[in-house]
Structure 1
């Protein structure tokens, strides 16, 4: 059930491709822009945390992960509200992806 939801979030443009085992971001990935995008999520409680990461210089490059060569790690792509993604389990999965990314 969770993978079906993740695939719908992917096809709707909210997260990157969900079928991956890769946990390492490319060196040229613009992760700060993803964080800036997530500050526009109206139903989340992480905007304040993200803003402090970006404005107070607390942002650090993610630790090296594992690159299995298929797709980049699952990453939020655009800001959303609970209603926009479909609420319920759709919001829970989207929220989880965002929290894990942050």
Structure 2
């Protein structure tokens, strides 16, 4: 089991947990909109560190982005397995072709 699989499982387990005992449960209890807002904040922080060029800080912020992405998706009942399936579906397809297919 990968670190992302373990993280996704932990997030799923926290969906019904007491918000007073878990940051993840607290975020999920605030609803999908708050989860999305938090993801956006973390994404901006990662962008800032990417521009600055600090590898250590970028690594930490990228981990935060992945965590908050999975929390946001869990808030809308989208699982890591579904995300992985979509990535697999796109595998071997040109990114340019994939973007062009979305327009039609």
The normalised TM-score by structure 2 is 0.31
Larger relative contact order, structure 1 or 2 (CA cutoff 8 Å, min sep 6): 1
The normalised TM-score by structure 1 is 0.31
Judging by fraction of residues, say which structure has more helix. Answer: 2
Greater C-alpha Rg: 2
